[in-house]
Amino acid sequence: MTRQLLPLLFLWATLLSLGCEPSNQPVDDGPVSPQFDIIFAQDIVHSVTIDTAAGWPAMLAAFLDTGSEAYREAQVTIDGSFAEAAGFRIKGSVAEGKGKAEKKYAFKLNFDYFGAERLLGIDKLHLENNKPDPTSLREALASRTYRAMGVPAVRVAFAVVEVDGEDFGNYTMLQDVDKRYLKDAFGTEGHADDGNLYECVPPGCTLEWAGDKMSDYQFGSGDDAQGLVLSTNRSDPEKNDYADLINFLDVLNNTTDAEFEAAIQDVFDVDAFLRWLSVAVAIGDFDNYLSWPDNFYLYHRPDSDLFVYIPWDHNKTYGGKKCKGSFEATGSTVAKPTCEVLDRPLVDRILAVPAFNEKYLSYLSEVTNKWLTVEQQQAWLDELNDLVGWQIALDPTSYHSEEEYYQAISANPSTGSPPNLMDYITRRRAYLVEELELQ
């Protein structure tokens, strides 16, 4: 039986168990769509087939010659479910108007870009090439650890991708942080999914106070916008003036120390942030606000009237990105989670409050002793490796060899960067256990 047929049979069986037939119609069925559980299932390797209207060679040539990452129309089939006219584009590096040639390109699908219906409950989907990760498993392993601590990390799954009849190999599928994600993560009660979602678009967002105007935080417009970019409610004049974000940043930066503990809890979900921070420190996730800073979103929940920190992009976790400025080889120190000398008020001011710092240490201890144990991480890693490891190791389009894959998931002493997964986990946990005993 072919690997493409297995996901299709699984899909039909699951849909029949739910009492429904496959459909491309929008489903607004509460906080967690059953269709999301199907498309991001981690017990199968999904099949993604993309047939472009323009042809892959022409699409690639346009990217390499002009740096164009424009969506092109394509027919997309995922595990047997079909989208007639989806948007399909390359996600790549562009410099001086030229696209960078890659052995394996990352992609993004936008199912309603050309007016088609969403597919299996989703509007957008990322197909990541895992270039910086020789295991291709960091994204999934990090997501499991975050979600175990109640952090709303995006869903992750694995897929074999075919474009215009050509086998492009194994990819990691990521849920997009969009309106559908908000519904999935926060539900719909109290219009929890109708708030303002701000994406931190490089070159970065320190969340320092810059002024009381929208232009102080978003630079440029349209596809060229940078900074904190509003991605929902953009056409709503009652919501798109950045007033909520400016108020949050004002409280964060300008409230006196004496009033800060109470004031920040009126505008920000501190507890959720401390949960994220504890996991980020534990698993060495420094490609985010703790370092550069980017790869995060801020979401203003209408039901609680609080901002929430949403993480993104975890393929450099578990030591995949070094923590500059830290004397600890496995990453940041417990007392100083940030990796750069620049100010990070969202971390610095919150951890300066004794009650918040105590809660952070409590969560870090929970992660270390429950979810970062060698036994738990090895069990998750074994499960992922049993599912997709042989395909990753033998993927002819991969940046890494079979030998490099098996070395990269092992506990063997690391000799390069990124470190071997189980070696890093063992060393990072040992450091945290010792350090937490001193706190």
Q: What is the pLDDT of residues 235-274, one digit of tens each?
A: 999 999 999 999 999 999 999 999 999 999 999 999 999 9
Q: What is the pLDDT of residues 182-220, one digit of tens each?
A: 999 999 999 999 999 999 999 989 999 999 999 999 999
Residues 54 and 156 in one domain: yes
Average pLDDT of the chain to the nearest whole number: 91
pLDDT for 252: 98
Domain span at 359: 189-369
Residues 355 and 381 in one domain: no
Q: What is the pLDDT of residues 372-431, one digit of tens each?
A: 999 999 999 999 999 999 999 999 899 999 999 999 999 999 998 999 999 999 999 999
pLDDT for 340: 67
Q: What is the pLDDT of residues 151-169, one digit of tens each?
A: 999 999 999 999 999 999 9
Q: What is the pLDDT of residues 21-50, one digit of tens each?
A: 333 333 344 444 688 999 999 999 999 999
Residues 31 and 146 in one domain: yes
Residues 136 and 201 in one domain: no
Q: Per-residue confidence at 137, pLDDT binned at 50, 70, 90?
A: very high
Q: How remote is the C-alpha of 425 from its chain's centroid? A: 20
Average pLDDT of the segment spanning 86-115: 94
Phi, psi of 417 (to 5 degrees): -125, 135
Statement: residue 20 has pLDDT above 50: no
In Å, what is the CA distance from 170 to each residue of 5, 173, 177?
A: 16, 10, 22
Residues 352 and 402 in one domain: no
Q: Which of 142, 143, 110 is nearest to 126 (CA)?
A: 110
Structural domains in the chain (count): 3
Structure tokens given for 95: 């410099």
**CA dihedral sign, ordered 404, 408, 411, 416:** positive
Q: Evaluate whether 116 touches 99 at the Cβ level (below 8 Å).
A: no
Residues 245 and 325 in one domain: yes
Q: Evaluate whether 81 touches 119 at the Cβ level (below 8 Å).
A: yes
Residues 360 and 380 in one domain: no
Residues 248 and 104 in one domain: no
